[in-house]
């Protein structure tokens, strides 16, 4: 086995800052009567604020400091969201509080062309989500966690390399050593290597078997089981905005974080989104909800483009404090047969995506597509296919096409030719094609159709009725 561990030391701050464009001085404070700084961002550190400082001292150094109260529930939700997103890389993963994400990657190395490209792809994806991590890889999950916590960036592939890799790590990284940290420090035992040099029986008697077992799990001597993460059936993501927003355009940066998270969740499930809800949370008003339907897709850029169009038409009743994205309906994506020659590859979803963006911009009822209708009368041989337009395209594709030449443009009302084709210098090229039907529904049609050309070279679709009257019914492209 090979475990990749991602450590998020600044997670308490990331849950508040990932929706923020500018890096303003900010800290996370503890929940106590005399709060102190848990995490400080880079801008605050440049002003002299550091973890462990009191909030009063931090404000003295930086009066414009933004202070967030630690939200452990939000941190746990963020870890779950990252695990759901990381399901696109492996199905075997785990989360460990307070700030660790573990992925078993041995089974997917060949697919991603090696460990280095895989780690690079994961790290880039986490940055796109708004999270910065320290990573390490080892044959056991505990060793990977220790190495990531030490921010060593180590890549250990063999169990035999673990003793040398873990020996210089401080014992303080082991939760099982916390209760005995003072005694161990007094004995001069500061690293894992120092502890390993002591007699095992003596360490077990004095400090407990749990400490020895933790070391053995890290070294691969004992099994290292842990509960695996199971992704939820539906995606739900939420972001608190750093400041109230009055313009919908300013929501797109934060919205992109959630959309990318959703795309990873869908990729891990082999599914596409067909309907999602985007909620804008206000302070004094009920949330504004947008429900958007799509052809099954997991392309984050397309989802964001459709969302952008819908937001551009929205009038906000109040300032937005937070945003939520919820998948209401997902569907499996069908595998597609690829073309033999890459040059002939086409995006079959391109037309559907254009329809969806137009509907998002103009409204659901403003954009419709046409579908064939099983009727020989030309004016009744088509219909509005209804909504959603992308589904209508798919439905229309299976209808039979009428035989014979048909114009691209059909006149809404046939134009009469009182003196016939000869008066307009029309030359008949093809015909007649007789269409006689509709006697059962009161709209009887009895016509002989011809293709004609005028002196300007235009091709027209003409017909003559039972009375001998001529009409122009359509124009060919």
Q: Which two tokens stand for residue 64?
A: 């414009």
The predicted-structure confidence for 234-263, as pLDDT tens digits, reads as follows: 999 999 988 888 888 889 999 999 999 999
Helices (H), 155-243: 162-166, 181-186, 192-196, 200-207, 209-219
Q: Count of CB atoms within 10 A of residue 424's CB?
A: 15
How far is the C-alpha of 107 from the C-alpha of 228, rounded, in Å? 16
- Confidence (pLDDT) at 335: 57
Query: Residue 302's Cα: distance from chain center in Å?
Result: 10
CA dist., res. 168 & res. 151, Å (int): 13
Q: Specify which residues 472 forms β-bridges with.
A: 415, 462
Beta strands in 262-340 (DSSP E): 271-282, 288-297, 320-332
Q: CA dist 223 to 90, 208, 220, 408, Å?
A: 21, 19, 7, 71
pLDDT at 272: 93
> What is the per-residue pLDDT for 121?
96
For 381, list phi and psi in degrees, rounded to 5: -85, 10
CB atoms within 10 A of CB 469: 13
Task: In whole angstroms, give the CA distance from residue 263 to residue 304.
Answer: 11
Q: How far apart are CA 459 and CA 450, in angstroms?
A: 10
The predicted pLDDT at position 455 comes to 82
pLDDT at 105: 95
Alpha helices in 90-246 (DSSP H): 115-129, 141-149, 162-166, 181-186, 192-196, 200-207, 209-219
pLDDT of residue 377: 86
Of the candidates 254, 231, 329, 316, the one whose C-alpha atom is nearest the C-alpha of residue 282 is: 316
- CB neighbours (10 Å) of residue 395? 14
The percent helix, strand, coil of the chain (3-state, each to 5) is: 35, 25, 35
pLDDT recorded at residue 342: 53
> What is this structure's pTM?
0.75
Please name each of the domains of the chain with its CATH number: 3-24+64-219 (3.30.70.270), 236-332 (3.30.1490.100), 335-402 (no CATH), 409-475 (no CATH)
Q: In what order do the strands lie in the sheet with 445-453?
A: 409-417, 470-475, 459-465, 445-453, 427-437
What is the CA 392 to chain-centroid distance, rounded? Answer: 25
223-230 own/partner pairs: CB under 8 Å, 24+ apart: 224/140, 224/141, 224/142, 226/94, 226/96, 226/102, 226/141, 227/94, 228/92, 228/93, 228/94, 229/80, 229/83, 229/93, 229/94, 229/95
What's the average pLDDT block by block, 10 residues per block, for the chain (477 residues)?
95 91 88 91 92 93 93 94 95 94 95 95 95 95 94 91 94 87 87 90 89 93 92 93 87 94 94 94 91 89 92 90 94 66 52 70 71 83 64 42 68 88 83 87 89 87 90 87
pLDDT digit string (tens) for 393-451? 444 444 444 445 788 888 888 999 988 887 778 888 888 889 988 888 888 899 999 99
């Amino acid at each position: 086995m090979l475990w990749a561990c991602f450590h998020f030391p600044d997670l308490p701050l990331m849950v508040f800052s990932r929706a923020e464009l500018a890096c303003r001085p900010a800290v996370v404070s503890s929940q106590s009567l005399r709060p102190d700084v848990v995490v400080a961002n880079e801008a605050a550190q440049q002003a002299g604020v550091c973890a462990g400082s009191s909030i009063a001292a931090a404000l003295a150094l930086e009066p414009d400091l933004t202070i967030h109260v630690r939200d452990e529930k939000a941190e746990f939700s963020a870890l779950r969201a990252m695990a759901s997103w990381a399901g696109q890389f492996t199905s075997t993963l785990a989360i460990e509080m307070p700030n660790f994400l573990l992925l078993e990657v041995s089974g997917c190395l060949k697919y991603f062309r090696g460990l280095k490209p895989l780690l690079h792809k994961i790290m880039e994806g986490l940055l796109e989500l708004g999270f910065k991590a320290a990573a390490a890889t080892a044959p056991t999950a505990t060793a990977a966690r220790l190495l990531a916590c030490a921010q060593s960036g180590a890549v250990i592939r063999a169990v035999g390399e673990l003793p040398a890799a873990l020996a210089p790590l401080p014992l303080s990284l082991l939760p099982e050593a916390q209760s005995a940290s003072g005694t161990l420090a007094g004995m001069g035992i500061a690293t894992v290597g120092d502890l390993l040099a002591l007699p095992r029986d003596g360490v077990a008697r004095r400090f407990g078997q749990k400490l020895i077992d933790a070391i053995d799990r890290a070294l691969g001597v004992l099994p290292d089981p842990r509960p695996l993460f199971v992704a939820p059936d539906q995606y739900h993501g939420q972001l608190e905005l750093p400041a109230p927003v009055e313009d919908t355009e300013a929501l797109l940066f934060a919205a992109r974080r959630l959309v990318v998270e959703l795309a990873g969740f869908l990729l891990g499930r082999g599914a596409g989104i067909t309907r999602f809800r985007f909620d804008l949370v206000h302070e004094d008003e009920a949330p504004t909800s947008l429900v958007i339907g799509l052809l099954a897709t997991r392309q984050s850029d397309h989802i964001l483009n459709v969302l952008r169009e819908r937001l551009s038409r929205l009038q906000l009743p109040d300032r937005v404090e937070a945003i939520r994205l919820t998948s209401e309906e997902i569907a499996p994506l069908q595998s597609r047969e690829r073309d033999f020659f890459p040059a002939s590859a086409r995006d079959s979803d391109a037309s559907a995506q254009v329809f969806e963006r137009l509907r998002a911009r103009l409204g659901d009822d403003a954009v419709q597509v046409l579908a064939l209708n099983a009727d020989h009368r030309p004016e009744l041989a088509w219909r509005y296919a209804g909504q959603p337009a992308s589904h209508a395209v798919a439905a229309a594709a299976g209808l039979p096409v009428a035989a014979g030449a048909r114009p691209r443009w059909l006149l809404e009302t046939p134009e009469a030719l009182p003196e016939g084709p000869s008066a307009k210098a029309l030359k008949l090229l093809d015909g007649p094609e007789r269409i006689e039907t509709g006697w059962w529904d009161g709209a009887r049609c009895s016509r002989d159709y011809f293709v004609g050309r005028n002196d300007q070279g235009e091709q027209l679709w003409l017909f003559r009725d039972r009375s001998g009257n001529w009409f122009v019914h359509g124009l060919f492209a």
